Amino acid sequence: MKQKLSLVTLGVSDLMAARTFYEDVLGFEPAPESSESVAFYDMQGTWLGLYLADALAEDAQVAPESDGFRQVTLAHNESSREAVDSLFDDLRNQGVEIVKEPQETSWGGYSGYFADIDGHLWEVAYNPFMDLT
């Protein structure tokens, strides 16, 4: 298998509400391939999909999970601590749930976490050792 992640699909409880969050709050542009039943976003090499959680579980032939930590986080990296703080200021001003305020990390970086409307955790980080921007 080629070492490449092409698509991350998040199961959501309300597709229209999730689209509003990702498009209006985070400013993501929907791809033309999006429809009434699924949303796609080109994340500059990897794609993000939003799909109803029950339909996603049915497609994988597994039981839908309960609320809570799903043992997966998504990450967005910025080029500086100040850029991380600025993004968190914007998120806070839009009423986004801040799970962990930006702070020094045990590995020498700087990061914080926010949650989307379905509880998916996003880490916003500055990594001084590796350019992930």
Q: How deeply is 111 buried, as exposed, middle or buried, from its count of CB atoms within 10 A (0-12, 13-18, 19+)? A: buried
Strand arrangement of the beta sheet that strand 97-104 belongs to:
73-78, 121-126, 110-115, 97-104
pLDDT per residue as tens digits for the range 60-108: 777 777 555 566 789 999 999 999 999 999 999 999 999 999 999 998 9
Rounded to two decimals, what is the model's pTM? 0.85
Token duo for residue 114: 């926010």
pLDDT band at 57 (very low <50, low <70, confident <90, very high): confident
Mean pLDDT of 103-127: 94
List the domain boundaries for the chain.
7-60, 73-126
Fold of 7-60: 2,3-Dihydroxybiphenyl 1,2-Dioxygenase; domain 1 (3.10.180)
User: One fold for both 7-60 and 73-126?
Assistant: yes
Mean pLDDT of the chain: 92
Token duo for residue 98: 């801040």
Domain at 73-126: CATH code: 3.10.180.10
